[in-house]
């Protein structure tokens, strides 16, 4: 048997008994995860590891390229996961996490790699804006640097898609949801976070305020008083 598959026996006999009280509590009272994390399916990016999350802590949605299709472009797993996390579970922090050396981003920047993968090619259309931003804003970047830039710009694009989802838009308007854009560097083991004020990714440092893509805060575009004055 594949050695990895066989480790399930180790979970049942050795790991679970130590955590049985936690699992029992979660089974009886249900889940109340503290955040939704949308990350790449890459085996080297492990949300529970990065956040040191225990069972019940983190609602996770993983796919190639940590993509969130804009609302109504695709009724699928990601949209449903986002809606359930926000509407049913009341998650208040949503993290979109890209990473270094991302195969999806390599394919985005080098479409010839997509031969024989029509589904991946179609899926990556949801990241097309990131490719266009890299072409427009970083014309001199090549190779690994262009892929790294694409991975970070892709996080920005997917965060904007996230805001088109009605449950997320309403939660943001109520001031209940904060958005986080992260980039995990596999080699360095460090996380960069998107700072919504400057629009740049910055290192996360203990003791410094955590950069946030969109801080929670009630917002209304319609200014009732201003509107009355204008009238």
- From the list 21-29, 67-75, 103-111, 118-126, the region that binds Zn ion by CB under 5 A is 103-111
Structure tokens at 65: 């390229």
Give dist(CA 73, CA 126) in Å, integer.
9
State the nearest-atom distance from the C-beta of 47 to Zn ion, in Å.
13
Buried-state track 155-164, b at ≥16 Cβ within 10 A, e below 16: bbbbbebbbe
- Residues 35-54 binding Zn ion (CB under 5 A) are 40, 42
Phi, psi of 93 (to 5 degrees): -125, 130
What character string, x for contact with Zn ion (CB under 5 A) and - otherwise, covers 54-93? ----------------------------------------
- Would you state the structure tokens that stand for residue 122, as one six-digit string? 């179609």
102 binding Zn ion? (CB under 5 A): yes
Q: How far is the CB of 202 from Zn ion (least distance, A)?
A: 21
Q: Report helix, strand or coil for 7.
A: helix
Residues 53 and 87 sit within 8 Å (Cβ to Cβ)? no
Using the contact rule CB under 5 A, the part of the chain among 23-31, 102-110, 164-172, 195-203 near Zn ion is 102-110
Binding site for Zn ion (CB under 5 A): 40, 42, 102, 104
């Amino acid at each position: 048997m594949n050695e990895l598959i066989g480790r399930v026996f180790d979970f049942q006999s050795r790991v679970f008994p130590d955590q049985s009280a936690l699992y029992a509590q979660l089974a009886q009272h249900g889940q109340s995860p503290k955040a939704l994390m949308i990350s790449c399916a890459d085996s080297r990016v492990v949300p529970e590891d990065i956040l040191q999350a225990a069972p019940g802590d983190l609602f996770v949605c993983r796919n190639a390229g940590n993509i969130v299709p804009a609302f109504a472009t695709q009724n699928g797993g990601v949209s449903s996961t986002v809606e359930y996390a926000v509407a049913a579970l009341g998650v208040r922090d949503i993290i979109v996490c890209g990473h270094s050396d991302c195969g999806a981003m390599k394919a985005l920047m080098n479409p010839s790699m997509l031969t024989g993968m029509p589904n991946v090619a179609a899926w990556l259309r949801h990241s097309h804006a990131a490719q266009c931003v890299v072409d427009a804003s970083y014309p001199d970047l090549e190779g690994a640097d262009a892929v790294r830039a694409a991975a970070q710009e892709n996080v920005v694009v997917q965060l904007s898609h996230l805001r088109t989802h009605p449950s997320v838009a309403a939660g943001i308007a109520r001031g209940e949801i904060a958005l986080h854009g992260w980039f995990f560097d596999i080699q360095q083991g460090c996380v960069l976070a998107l700072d919504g004020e400057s629009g740049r990714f910055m290192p996360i440092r203990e003791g410094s305020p955590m950069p946030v893509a969109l801080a929670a805060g009630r917002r209304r575009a319609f200014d009732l008083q201003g509107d009355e004055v204008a009238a």
